[in-house]
Structure 1
């Protein structure tokens, strides 16, 4: 029963879409009606400004952390972190209260990976960040991150590997339109190096 409870707890907390919460109480609007329509960090930041994007990300990380901590104390065992992560992703991507229309789960998946295996998680996150800087794209790097992390964890634990592979498939499904746009040359470019230089006051 522990795996089922872990998934259910994760799903419950995953349902808290902070893009929607912040949109309703902070901006007094529906974020799904603007930009890409995705209730997530990237769209909130791109459409309404970095402040709202950061708040959205912080909220999604907070709900993820709370769920993971609860399960950690209820069911000691590393594998239950993975089960909780699956529930979180399912709840975030397919929230029952929002007609199963949710975000893409990037921030959630990163924290789950770091909580489960911080070394592998950190390495794969750094690889994804490097790819983001090189490709100037926010679609392929998160998927590469989850693919690499899942492949590594599969070599360590078949059960955990399968769980993270399922999470990867869910993310690919949520990114399906963005993937098509990327390969068709319609993907939106995001130059994070330029943004960093601009913040530091570097002109070149």
Structure 2
């Protein structure tokens, strides 16, 4: 029963889409009407600027952290953290108040992974960061990150591994068009190394 409560708590908090809140309060717009129409960090940053993208990301991380801590103290069994993560992803990707059309869950998944197993979480995130720099793509790296994390956790706990695999599959579903675009050569390129060099004042050819 505690696992069901964990999923429900995660789902309730997952429904708070920071992009929608930022859009309504600060920008006076509906972010789902712009860019990729996705109420998430990437679209907010790409369309309205990095400041709003970062604010969106921070908000999504905060809501996830609150839900995770509530379950951590209310239902101490470690596996309940994984179920909370599943609820968060479901709420973020399929919010009941917005016709089940939400974000893609990258920031939420990263927060859950690090909270559940910070060593493996940071290690797989580092792999994703390197892949992002090499591939200049924001679609495949987060999916690789969650897949690697899921496999590692499955080796330690099959139940937890299955939950994280389900989370990965949900993200694949939300990223499906981006995946198709990537493999057909139409994916968007994001050169993070160029951006970092520019910020540091390093001359870029």
**Same fold by TM (over 0.5)?**
yes
1:86 is matched with 86
Where has structure 1 moved over 4 Å in runs of 4 or more? Answer: none
**Residues 176-195 of structure 1 mapped to structure 2, 5 A cutoff:** 176-195=176-195
- For structure 1, the 5+ residue unaligned runs are none
- The answer to whether residue 7 in structure 2 is matched with residue 3 in structure 1 is no
Q: TM-score normalised to the size of structure 2?
A: 0.99
2:197 is matched with 197
Note the alpha carbon deviations across 1:58-87, whole angstroms, 9 max, x for none: 000000000000000100121010000000
Distance 2:171 2:61 in 1: 17
Distance 1:109 1:181 in 2: 22
Q: CA deviation at 1:195?
A: 0.1
2:105 is matched with 105
Q: CA deviation at 1:151?
A: 0.6
Distance 1:78 1:203 in 2: 48
Distance 2:26 2:59 in 1: 13
- The answer to whether residue 29 in structure 2 is matched with residue 61 in structure 1 is no
2:132 is matched with 132
Q: TM-score normalised to the size of structure 1?
A: 0.99
**Residues 117-128 of structure 1 mapped to structure 2, 5 A cutoff:** 117-128=117-128
Q: When the two structures are aligned, how many residues end up with a matched partner?
A: 204
Distance 1:200 1:165 in 2: 38
Q: Secondary structure at the match of 1:175?
A: helix
Note the alpha carbon deviations across 1:88-124, whole angstroms, 9 max, x for none: 0000000000000000000000010000000110110
- For structure 2, the 5+ residue unaligned runs are none
- The answer to whether residue 36 in structure 2 is matched with residue 36 in structure 1 is yes
Distance 1:122 1:59 in 2: 20
